[in-house]
Amino acid sequence: MPISLFDSKLHKAVEFVPLRPGAVSMYVCGPTVQSSPHVGHLRSALVYDLWSRWFSYRGFQVTLIRNVTDIDDKILDSASETGEEWWALAERVEAEFHTVADAIHIQRPALQPRATGDIPAMVELIHLLLDRSHAYVAADGSGDVYFDVSSWGNYGELTNQSVENLTQGESESAAKKNPEDFALWKGHKPHEPVTAAWPAPWGAGRPGWHLECSAMATRYLGESFDIHGGGMDLRFPHHENELAQSRAAGHDYARHWMHNALVLVGGQKMSKSLGNSLFAEDLVTSARPIVVRYALASAHYRSELDVHDGFLTEAAAAFERIEGFLLRATSEGLITEGGSLPQEFEDAMDDDLSIPQALAVIHDRVRAGNHAMDSGSRDEAQSDARAVHAMVAILGCDPLAEEWGTSASSHAAAALDSLVESVIALRWSAKADKNFDLSDSLRDAIERAGIDVKDTSNGSTWSLRG
């Protein structure tokens, strides 16, 4: 079955056919490093990490480029507020992003170019747009250069919007020919640090945000590449402007556009005005990092992810069922290595990375494997354990992997869970055989160990006392 992905520009699922057989080229918009990364940055990075892992599993050589925007208006404004040098702020925040991404084992991309490292390529792209009459230098002597939206008839094609309904969100300037035009180059202002300006024929300054990504994507992946990804909030104006200026420069640019949905906090969009921003570091330190990875991956990447009260607790309970099964399997001497992926798991992943369906396959196999161990069917249990291990490894959530450094306490908790569940199963079996003396003895043994058992019509639950 071929891999299908949802193309945001075409607004439909399409079969992925690479430009170059056996290879995938992906450009993803990374963080703008003006303040500590929030959970949305982390989720977006994880989404394309998962895509990269799946393409690799399917035999593709993946080249993933994820940029770092380390110069723009927001960074200069934040630096002014904190009293830091803008470049020191950018360096510090970028390091924070890498720390939290590394914590949940998001693989580093092939390259993570910083905008400030590719200024010559950006100046060259502006030259090309000027030569093709798609850009103009502001007549007020400010050194600003703008993209002329009226010169590009396909403007709005990514988001399917008409030009008259679009506003850039930039500060207005009388030097613009059209209100919809956007900055390719921003001339240096007297109040800005001299270190935040680079020489250019039209005047010292710095690149516009949209131009940065077009120049970097083209430099490292070529004028045509397979996939451009990023958060849904980047579709307009950022990606719309990227597409327009790149195509106007004569580049085919991205063949497919992909966007991951936003993260909500308690059902609301994160915003400074609501005071509900959730920093990535706070999330990563609130639970085991492997659980955070599982939690952030649990929703489909095109669905909003609501980080609500109990979000990590629910994820931990679900993940620990998987972990407990694998630890139980290893404790009983079953081999978990070398398994193959079930067809239904592959089908789910091939279908636009449908991880919720893939997780359902994992949990089905966990239940089947536990039942097989309870009934003494070791061959079936081992087959399920190997399949589960293979599936969680693909998702980067293998609790047996050394990279996660599973603690002795985690192993002990899983071992206790396995032991208590086994005793409870024996107790129910004794009750079914009307061997009530044995059933009562087993219950007494559990309670003497400081464990409370609650019987329900659907089975028994247990918890540690006090």
427 is a domain residue: no
Res. 337: pLDDT tops 90: yes
Q: What pLDDT score was predicted for residue 425?
A: 83
Structural domains counted in the chain: 1
Q: What pLDDT score was predicted for residue 98?
A: 97
Give the other-Cβ count within 10 Å of 31's Cβ. 25
Cβ contact 184:208 at 8 Å: yes
Burial of 11-23, coded b for 16+ CB within 10 Å and e otherwise, reads: eeeeebebeeeee
Q: What pLDDT score was predicted for residue 325?
A: 96
Res. 192: pLDDT tops 60: yes
Q: What pLDDT score was predicted for residue 411?
A: 54
Note if the pTM is more than 0.95.
no
Q: What is the mean pLDDT of residues 4-20?
A: 97
Which segment, 124-128, 156-160, 284-288, is predicted with the most confidence on average?
A: 124-128
Task: Report d(CA 136, CA 308) in Å as an integer.
Answer: 48
Task: Report d(CA 225, CA 235) in Å as an integer.
Answer: 18
Name the token pair of 355: 């991880």
For residue 114, name the pLDDT band (cuts at 50, 70, 90): very high
Q: What is the mean pLDDT of residues 78-107?
A: 96
Res. 178: pLDDT tops 80: yes
Q: What pLDDT score was predicted for residue 330?
A: 94
Cβ contact 134:249 at 8 Å: yes
Q: What pLDDT score was predicted for residue 407?
A: 45
State the DSSP code for 351: B
Q: What is the mean pLDDT of residues 296-312?
A: 96
State the DSSP code for 68: B
Q: What pLDDT score was predicted for residue 79?
A: 96
244 is a domain residue: yes
Give per-residue pLDDT as tens, 251-289.
Answer: 999 999 999 999 999 888 887 667 778 999 999 999 999
Which residues form the domain of 220?
A: 4-260
Read off the CATH number of the domain in which 160 is found: 3.40.50.620
Q: What is the mean pLDDT of residues 376-399?
A: 97
Task: Report d(CA 20, CA 257) in Å as an integer.
Answer: 17
User: Residue 215: helix, strand or coil by DSSP?
Assistant: helix
For residue 171, name the pLDDT band (cuts at 50, 70, 90): low
Q: What pLDDT score was predicted for residue 409?
A: 45
The more confident residue out of 451 and 171 is: 451
Cβ contact 256:228 at 8 Å: yes
43 is a domain residue: yes
Q: Provide the strand spans (E) within 149-238.
A: 182-187, 205-207, 224-231
322 is a domain residue: no
The more confident residue out of 455 and 114 is: 114
Give per-residue pLDDT as tens, 212-247.
Answer: 999 999 999 999 999 999 999 999 999 999 999 999
276 is a domain residue: no
Nearest residue to 289 (alpha-carbon basis) of 55, 29, 32, 46: 46
350 is a domain residue: no
206 φψ region: left (φ > 0), alpha (ψ -120 to 50), beta (else): beta
Handedness of CA 210, 280, 91, 217 (dihedral sign): negative
Task: Report d(CA 263, CA 130) in Å as an integer.
Answer: 39
User: Residue 4: helix, strand or coil by DSSP?
Assistant: strand
76 is a domain residue: yes
Task: Report d(CA 385, CA 394) in Å as an integer.
Answer: 14
Q: What pLDDT score was predicted for residue 185?
A: 98
Give per-residue pLDDT as tens, 425-464.
Answer: 888 888 888 888 888 888 888 888 778 888 876 677 777 6
Res. 408: pLDDT tops 50: no
438 is a domain residue: no
Handedness of CA 120, 121, 125, 127 (dihedral sign): positive
For residue 200, name the pLDDT band (cuts at 50, 70, 90): very high
Q: What pLDDT score was predicted for residue 465?
A: 65
Alpha-carbon distances of 230 from 40, 49, 73, 223, 233, rounded to whole Å: 11, 12, 20, 19, 8
Beta bridge partners of 186: 206
Res. 406: pLDDT tops 80: no
Q: What pLDDT score was predicted for residue 464?
A: 67
Res. 345: pLDDT tops 50: yes
